[in-house]
Amino acid sequence: MQYYRLHFPPTHIPASVYIGKRYLARHTPHYYQPTDVIMATVPRHRVSVIGGGGNVGAATAFALVAKGVPAEVLVVDVVDKAAEGQALDISDAAFMMPGTCRKGSFTEAGQSDVIIVTAGARQQPGEPRSNLVDRNYKIIKSIMDSLHPIKPSAKILMVSNPVDVLTDIAQKTSGLPREQVIGSGTYLDTGRLRSSLSDITGVSPTSIHAYMLGEHGDNQFTSWSSARIGGHPLLEHPKMRGVDLDSIYDKIQQKAYVIIEAKGSTYYGIGICAATLAEGLLNNTSQVFPVTNYVERYGCYMSWPAAIGSNGVEQSFDVKLNGEESKKLDKAINAIKETCSRYQ
């Protein structure tokens, strides 16, 4: 394939990205001249998606490519044929993007910059996420053993459920520092919360600062007392008067079960969330997300706001809670610690 030497780059195409001949010839031929040399390329990161042959893994790998993350995305799965098929399909979407996608091995995955784990037993209709622990413990332990030796600077992003407990297990079995092993936590739940509040208030979800916290599961809770819009308490917004807060919470809690009942599993929402978190880790964005991270003051992994970057968790934040919310937090922490204690 020929590549083109960049002379006066158009603003819509980063000069740091090399782009294939057909796209440039069709869209911006007057800016480029043919050459056999790649003049400039972005640093090539590698992101591996373990369980990439399944729905969640494939959705995550596709989201990484579709978001334009400049990385080599490896699809890794114990079912080799499924990994190959998903990788080939996703690679067809990569020809206009800076990233690439191919099937990879567990050994290659262990040397990746970010390792996303989506493999695990599927949650059945009506089944609590906590019931998945026994089935997924052996799977996660086997995966971590297969990745060794793991690149010392690698970051592991757990997506498999129950994510708070499995993140703790992954950290212990991988041997990586706690700040380098995180989970998707309540990021998706928080997105559902903010979307619901957006429908009520008419404010963009990205401008609503409210979180689902504690545990990604039946013990998660909404931090209503600390929620803000434009620096003002959310609950003082005129359109929030008389709103049934419990109904909002119940709707968020049940949404995953409704989707599972209808189509067997959820994957698009969590796929884009996982890809966004991986992008933050690669690009050192220091954005704050409600992810599963080890919170020293509580002594366990839990879903809690943290800034993530190239070192993993850069810092974790305190959230002011009222008395009722503090009790819910204690309940979530106790549930996580009790389960983790069984898998030392």
- Examine the pLDDT at 310 and tell me if it is beyond 50: yes
| 46, 146, 154, 214 from 83: Cα distances, Å | 16, 16, 22, 34
Query: Which amino acid does the sequence have at 13?
Result: I
Supply the pLDDT for residue 225: 97
Supply the pLDDT for residue 107: 97
Q: Which residue has the tokens 């690698």?
A: 154
Supply the pLDDT for residue 128: 66
Cis before residue 205, ω within 30 degrees of 0?
no
Dihedral of the CA atoms 62, 176, 169, 79 (nearest 10)? 40
100-133 pLDDT per residue, tens: 999 999 999 999 999 999 998 776 776 666 677 8
Annotated catalytic, 7?
Answer: no
The share of the chain scoring above pLDDT 70, in percent, equals: 86
Q: Categorize the per-residue pLDDT at 135 as very low, low, confident or very high, splitting at 50, 70 and 90.
A: confident
Supply the pLDDT for residue 27: 46
The one catalytic residue in 12, 27, 216, 237 is 216
Lookup: tokens for 297: 């003051």
CA 57/CA 48 separation, integer angstroms: 10
Supply the pLDDT for residue 309: 97
Q: Model's pTM, two decimal places?
A: 0.87
Sign of CA dihedral 293, 145, 188, 124: negative
Supply the pLDDT for residue 43: 44
148-197 pLDDT per residue, tens: 999 999 999 999 999 999 999 999 999 999 999 999 999 999 999 999 99
